[in-house]
Amino acid sequence: MKNNRITIFDTTLRDGEQCPGASMNLREKLEVARQLARLQVDVIEAGFPVISDGDFAAVQAIAREIKGPVICGLARCVPRDIDAAGQAIKPAGKRGRIHIFLATSKIHREFKLNKARDEILRLAVEGVKHAKGLVDNVEFSPEDASRTEPDFLLQVCKAVVAAGATTVNIPDTVGWAVPDQYGALIGRLYDSVPEFQSGRSVISVHCHNDLGLAVANSLAAIRAGARQVECTINGIGERAGNAALEEIVMALQTRADFFGAFDCGLDTREIVKTSRLVSRMSGLIVQRSKAIVGENAFAHSSGIHQDGILKKRETYEIMDPQTIGWGRTELPLTKHSGRAAVAARLKHLGFKMNDADVAAIFARFKEIGDKKKFVYDDDLSALVEGQITEVPETWSLDYLHVSSGNRAVPTATVRLQNIADKKPTFVQDAGIGDGPVDAALKAIDRLTHTHGRLLDYSLRAVSQGKDALGEVTVKVEFNDGKAVTGKGASTDVIEASARAYLNAVNRFLAGPDGKGPADGQP
């Protein structure tokens, strides 16, 4: 008998963070994890502990601080990985899960692993048993399952369930599947493994979006018997991304007439807030036309549509935007608002800030308040996120002046403070460029003795009005060939650009986090 409870397994902090340029620091990951807990996801896959000291520390911190969701660590099917994952999630106690993966498809067996079927089976069983000795909650993923021979895949599922796997995930690792075929595969596995039917083990799906079918495949799998779905906020992830959490959840809720009365257990009112936080923390902008969370998702420009909406919302809106978290922000603060009011609003917005953080944010709040009439919740969130994204500063922006025009050579004068020196010193220089932003960035390069190549630049208005706070995200490649993301915000877009670029410079100078690419992940 199929139950109707769908476990939401969020892998934003693991698979989502693997998207190039989306790397987050510890504080950013913790803030996202706290918001995922408020969203009430069932499982947070917090990272891949063995990959780097930074990943291990992040998974351990999330396991220690986040209450509610199960905390999961990823591991290859080797003892060293499994032990690292077990140690990292240990603070979560009974809420800890180890997620093991091992490739099973013919192409992976022959060209990547050079192993036969029987050896894959043996390694899978040994890996699950090893993990079972550390935690009760063990998940196994046969990597590239959608391209694995169905008879062998079924053999693997039965073997790992018998070894103690409480969840078996069937990844569409390369986005190769199509809904009818994938749904049929899940249905065959469900019908052939008694433990899936009894609920002793859960069949899960993890779909990639290479053909734009990740959500469709996930929904087809749920209809066929899958009771866990692995997804990310905004659908971020490697290559074309993962199945988008918000789209799956709202499809099940909105079309219950077709899918049935599935329960995901989420507080959907937190969806928009979570989407925005992940976008800012990862530096990946949500496209305006993105379903559910894009800025145009509930915008109606056609006169016919507007007329229909005014008469009855349901004529052109199949979802109530307020149930997803769209709505008006709280009454804005002004430059006259005190520190206590700012601290109270931060708490209301769900941010966990210590006294030093509040002091730094309040100082920036007063700067912004002097430049614009109202400081909205979105403005304040941008300032908080700017504080979270800060890295140990080598350089700090002290002064910026630009001169530009259609008949003038764009020039920027920049003064930086060298925080790294025992006695902080100031350096100043000027640069010219194709425009005021380019000139400012070149001046920063000269002062910091770095050379960055701008790979991507995005600017968005954080709040409403002509005096809206501008948030700039840049992706910069430095001499070592590594792409680094930087973020900055100001009512002046040139200042915001300089702050974002300087944030990237400081990240680069702080040194690599030791994270390297992992071999073959679901």
For 11-52, how does the pLDDT look when each residue is reduced to its tens digit (9 = 90+)?
999 999 887 667 788 999 999 999 999 999 999 999 999 999
Query: What gap in Å lies between CA 172 and CA 221, rounded to an integer?
Result: 11
* pLDDT score at 518: 45
φ/ψ region of 278 (left if φ > 0, alpha if ψ in -120 to 50, else beta) reads alpha
160, with CB counted inside 10 A (0-12, 13-18, 19+), is buried
Query: What gap in Å lies between CA 511 and CA 514, rounded to an integer?
Result: 9
Query: What gap in Å lies between CA 373 and CA 355, rounded to an integer?
Result: 26
Query: What gap in Å lies between CA 407 and CA 410, rounded to an integer?
Result: 9
pTM: 0.84
Query: What gap in Å lies between CA 120 and CA 129, rounded to an integer?
Result: 14
What are the distances in angstroms from CA 301 to CA 224, 317, 346, 427, 471?
Answer: 39, 13, 34, 51, 26
* pLDDT score at 300: 55
* pLDDT score at 480: 65
Relative orientation angle of helices 271-282 and 377-388, to the nearest 10 degrees:
40
* pLDDT score at 196: 97
Measuring CA to CA, which residue among 464, 459, 295 is closest to residue 374?
464
* pLDDT score at 328: 56
Mean pLDDT by 10 residues, the chain (522 residues): 88 89 84 97 98 95 98 98 98 98 97 96 98 98 98 98 98 98 98 96 98 98 98 96 98 96 96 92 88 84 54 76 78 82 85 87 86 82 76 86 92 92 86 95 94 90 78 86 84 93 89 46 74
- Those residues whose C-beta lies under 8 Å from the C-beta of residue 419, and which sit 6 or more positions away, are 393, 394, 395, 396
Measuring CA to CA, which residue among 81, 82, 84, 63 is closest to residue 72?
63
* pLDDT score at 390: 63
Taking a C-beta distance cutoff of 8 angstroms, is the pair 175, 210 a contact?
A: yes
* pLDDT score at 482: 74
Q: Would you tell me how many other CB atoms lie within 10 Å of the CB of residue 508?
A: 23
* pLDDT score at 329: 56
Taking a C-beta distance cutoff of 8 angstroms, is the pair 77, 121 a contact?
A: no
* pLDDT score at 330: 60
Q: Would you tell me how many other CB atoms lie within 10 Å of the CB of residue 312?
A: 9
Query: What gap in Å lies between CA 49 and CA 240, rounded to an integer?
Result: 24
Dihedral sign of CA atoms 229, 232, 235, 237 in order: negative
Reduce the secondary structure of 447-516 to three states and give it as a string: HHCCCCEEEEEEEEECCCCCCCCEEEEEEEECCCCCEEEEEEEECCHHHHHHHHHHHHHHHHHCCCCCCC
For 403-417, how does the pLDDT look when each residue is reduced to its tens digit (9 = 90+)?
999 889 999 999 999
What are the distances in angstroms from CA 191 to CA 1, 184, 198, 203, 261?
Answer: 11, 10, 11, 11, 21
